[in-house]
Structure 1
Amino acid sequence: MASSNDTLANSNNVNLKKWRVFLIPYFARGHLIPMRDFAGLLSANHPDIEPTMVVTPTPSLKPDIETVGIGKSTDSSAIDKAAHMARPGQEQVLQKYKPDAVVADVMFPWIAAIAADLGIPCIFFSGTGAFPILIIRFLLKMGTYLGIHDHVTVSGLPGPEIRMPVLELPTFVFENNNMQKPERVIKSWNDVFGYVHNVIEQGGEGETNCLRWLDNKEQQSVIFVSFGSQCYFKSAQLHELAMGLEESGQSFLWVVRGVDQSDKWIPEGWEERIANRGLVVRGWAPQLAILVHAAIGAFMTHCGWNSILEGTAAGVPMLTWPLAFEQFINEKLLVDVVGCAARLWEGWKRSTKETESELVPSMVIAHAVSRFMEPEGEHSSVHCKARELGAVVRSAMADGGSSMSDLSRLISDLINAMENKTCQ
């Protein structure tokens, strides 16, 4: 028999409902991990939110392949095409289980319309930042006009003028297929309930011997070299990078990805020559833990958004080498707008298409690394700006910081929308 106190407690517990929020990530570690972290933030900041990750089983894509970056580099494009094939399954899941809200990767713009039909709020989750998204919106509106120019100038943004070679633009802004026509993509972005840009991820597990190796290095003496989980170099470029790191005379920690690459790129006797000051990690590495280590003095990066967030939060200056997707746009933000990074080389032909990019020779890499690692050298302002920005980012992520305050407001608005059964 319940006591009067129990009855009072039950009557005071007005909202016993658990709000079911489905999260649908794109098939790539750089998308899966941050969305998983966002799911954790949702549940940690509101006990009534019950997040559920909706992922695609292996057989739906390709045998033994679940995410971009796990198989050979040639498999990545196949998985990218599989994104369009996932639409019927995504719609079926949402209609069957009828969640109270959905958080969808921006790579799935059609989910906005599905959510609208169900009358539930849809939030787009972007694995990249607000700056590249603004640039991409501008480029999508230009449409076919992009193909008649060598460079494009983006207008309407505060700060310095953004002017980019067309070769460095994401290839998808030129595409015009029925699934993702530019006008449909932009409309879906405008119609959703909200938009979330990636938070700093936890980085996942990986090889930890490298952290012990770093423990024996002097402070800020090591350059960390990593190009993410989706980008690959040809053997010839790997060879030049290896030689460049050796010739720089600097200590380095290099993460080499790509199961479809043999060790033929390794120069003869190279591993023996660099044994005392260089370490190569093959596969996945705890990037965030590496970047915050006291021994790290610089970060050579492809400018993927996850890497930018982690490098910035760690206060580490970045040496940029973008390769694909929106990475060249991200580089513009780091180098030309914020000033916390420097380009590895200004004088080479670069492109989001690997076949159109020039080989970067070892002597250029060696020169760039040795100059960048000088704390009081020509890039001293970049080092200083990186430290300042790191403090700002950490403050934003702390309790009461701007990022956490934005998250609280988003959750409050989402709860209100779910209670009132509105998707606007």
Structure 2
Amino acid sequence: MALNPNNSNKKCRVFLIPQMSRGHLIPMTDFAKLLAAAHPDVEPTMVVTPGNAALINASLGQVQILTYPFPSESIKSTAETMGVGSKEETMLINKLSLLIRPAQEELLSKYKPDVVVSDALFYWAPSVAAQFGIPYIVFFPCGAFPLVVFKRIYDMQQSMSIDTDHITVSDLPGPKIEMPVRELPNYRIGHDEEINKIFDSLFGSWPDVFGIVFNTFRALESEYCKEYERVQMKRAYFIGPVSFCNTSNVDGLIHRGGEGDVGCLRWLDGKEDGSVVFVSFGSQCYFKSEQLHELAIGLEHSRRNFLWVVRGNNMEEWMPDGWEDRIAGRGFVVKGWAPQVAILAHPATGAFMTHCGWNSVLEGLSAGIPMLTWPFAAEEFINEKLLVEVIGCAAKVWDGGKRSTREEEHELVPGSVIAHAVFKFMEPAGGEYVAMRSKAQNVAVSALAAVQEGGSSHGDIRDLVNNLFGLIGSK
């Protein structure tokens, strides 16, 4: 697809401003790399605080970086990202991230880029960009399915009874979705003014927005992509899976989002194909010690190989006596940041126990790995519906007891339940695993096709670049 020849010599300077969490920072960095690769005259710049810059420096490639100060001196530069430090620090960073508007205004006023791309959670960004006459693009590090479902829930919330236990989300392009109310995002009916502004922005008319970018691909959720385009009536670009931009750079893949533990990859080299369950719950899941204890027991008694990413270093608080000796050789614990995409792509990885954050969902599907789902918060229970009920490539770790997006309502998942779920799911012959793996592998084939020449995501990136050059040519 040819670019507009009238503007082929014009540089297009794009500023990308991610939210301060790895789940948003990493995919936007990947998107910046895709823009840089799409055309030599596109000049993407990641605009981040120094602490967040440290997490992406090793994998930037041709992407430039521009830093601005974090809005509080009470947070160390080594912990300016949600999920890096304690739960209390993460909550504080989340609140402080809503105070960075003045810094963003100053940067846009000083540098006046041709285009601004920012995270959807920065609800003020469209009006700030419009103030300086800069075209604005929203970046969603998620798919169309969760947003379409969430939009219906958002529309329904005023008519919901406070005594309702379950809701049925109808008027969807696919099957009806039934959910317990306790599994809905806990900010669905918010009294927090800032949260209300964010979601009014997400589902509003967005008069100052030029386009919307999603980290997904059309073959994965075609009907929902079309529905979002129909309802939002904005240019939508489905350009994922963005993680594929790292496949030719092994070092960048391993250090994507931080200094990854490469020892786990060497450990996987010694395991049989498809024999390991990868256990990781994202950067912002804070298990209590009691649940970590039960998870350790469950993985031990599952009799399966496992690679488990554990937050923090205080393992003595929850580790069963003699546990490390008993699982030696069969289990590997990563105490820090793990190279997730590389782990999922390893032949030894046969299943993925996940919290159903969108990056994990898409990375697991891109690798053709069936999943055991254990959601906790936000839209993770909605993402689980896509995996379990729409695609059919996943099973719930626990389908009993009380599951909730509210931490105070979480019930302890017993180790015996975890052991049974992992053992049953990893049966090498027959059973649900074989069918789910086949479905996941079919999705992986479609994902790879989408990003290659002639694929839908490749085409959407080219369309976006064409449109950007058309924008700056008409200014």
TM-score, structure 2 normalization: 0.82
1:138-149 equivalences under 5 Å are 138-146=152-160, 148=162, 149=164
Question: Residue 232 of structure 2 aligns with which residue?
Answer: none
Counterparts of 2:177 and 2:370 in 1: how far apart (Å)? 21
What is the CA deviation profile of residues 172-214 of structure 1, one whole-angstrom value per residue up to 9, with x for unaligned ones?
A: 2222433343434422656521111123324514111111111
Answer yes or no: is 1:353 the counterpart of 2:406: yes
- Of residues 409, 415, 422, the one that matches 1:369 is 422
CA drift at 1:286: 0.8
Question: Residue 286 of structure 1 aligns with which residue?
Answer: 339
Answer yes or no: is 1:100 the counterpart of 2:93: no
Counterparts of 1:171 and 1:322 in 2: how far apart (Å)? 13
Question: Residue 83 of structure 1 aligns with which residue?
Answer: 97
SS of the residue corresponding to residue 300 of structure 1 reads strand
- Judge conservation of contact 1:109–1:188 (CA < 8 Å) in 2: no
- Judge conservation of contact 1:140–1:173 (CA < 8 Å) in 2: yes
Question: Residue 218 of structure 1 aligns with which residue?
Answer: 272
Question: Residue 305 of structure 1 aligns with which residue?
Answer: 358
Q: Structure 1 residues 400, 150: closer, same or farther in 2, change over 3 A?
A: same
- Judge conservation of contact 1:102–1:121 (CA < 8 Å) in 2: yes
1:301-340 equivalences under 5 Å are 301-340=354-393
What is the CA deviation profile of residues 2-48 of structure 1, one whole-angstrom value per residue up to 9, with x for unaligned ones?
A: xxxxxxxxxx9975432211100000111111111111111110111
CA drift at 1:217: 0.7
Answer yes or no: is 1:44 the counterpart of 2:48: no
CA drift at 1:239: 0.4
Letter in 1 for 2:33: G
What is the CA deviation profile of residues 292-317 of structure 1, one whole-angstrom value per residue up to 9, with x for unaligned ones?
A: 11111101001111111111011010
Larger radius of gyration: 1
Q: Structure 1 residues 276, 139: closer, same or farther in 2, change over 3 A?
A: same
Answer yes or no: is 1:238 the counterpart of 2:292: yes
| Alignment gaps of 5+ in structure 1 | 1-11
- Judge conservation of contact 1:141–1:183 (CA < 8 Å) in 2: no
1:55-204 equivalences under 5 Å are 55-57=48-50, 59-61=70-72, 62-64=74-76, 65-146=79-160, 148=162, 149-179=164-194, 180-181=196-197, 182-187=199-204, 189=206, 191-198=208-215, 199=240, 200-201=242-243, 202=246, 204=256
What is the CA deviation profile of residues 103-158 of structure 1, one whole-angstrom value per residue up to 9, with x for unaligned ones?
A: 01011121112222322221111111111111222222334444623222222212
SS of the residue corresponding to residue 26 of structure 2 reads helix
Q: Structure 1 residues 237, 90: closer, same or farther in 2, change over 3 A?
A: same
CA drift at 1:57: 4.2
Counterparts of 1:216 and 1:232 in 2: how far apart (Å)? 31
Question: Residue 4 of structure 1 aligns with which residue?
Answer: none
SS of the residue corresponding to residue 298 of structure 1 reads strand
| Alignment gaps of 5+ in structure 2 | 52-69, 216-239, 247-252
What is the CA deviation profile of residues 337-391 of structure 1, one whole-angstrom value per residue up to 9, with x for unaligned ones?
A: 1111111111121111121011000000000000000142233321211111111
- Judge conservation of contact 1:110–1:188 (CA < 8 Å) in 2: no
How many residue pairs get matched? 409
Question: Residue 20 of structure 2 aligns with which residue?
Answer: 27
Q: Structure 1 residues 284, 184: closer, same or farther in 2, change over 3 A?
A: closer
CA drift at 1:233: 0.6
Letter in 2 for 1:140: Y
TM-score, structure 1 normalization: 0.92
Q: 38-47 or 186-195, which moves further after superposition?
A: 186-195
CA drift at 1:80: 1.1
What is the CA deviation profile of residues 52-109 of structure 1, one whole-angstrom value per residue up to 9, with x for unaligned ones?
A: 1111345524421210011101211111111211122212222222211100101112
Letter in 1 for 2:187: F
CA RMSD across the alignment: 1.9
Question: Residue 56 of structure 2 aligns with which residue?
Answer: none
- Judge conservation of contact 2:7–2:469 (CA < 8 Å) in 1: no
Q: 343-352 or 193-202, which moves further after superposition?
A: 193-202
- Of residues 443, 452, 455, the one that matches 1:401 is 455
SS of the residue corresponding to residue 296 of structure 2 reads helix
- Judge conservation of contact 2:369–2:441 (CA < 8 Å) in 1: yes
SS of the residue corresponding to residue 98 of structure 2 reads helix
Answer yes or no: is 1:251 the counterpart of 2:305: yes
Q: Structure 1 residues 284, 189: closer, same or farther in 2, change over 3 A?
A: farther
Counterparts of 1:55 and 1:47 in 2: how far apart (Å)? 23
Letter in 2 for 1:63: I
Counterparts of 1:14 and 1:130 in 2: how far apart (Å)? 32
Q: Structure 1 residues 184, 301: closer, same or farther in 2, change over 3 A?
A: closer
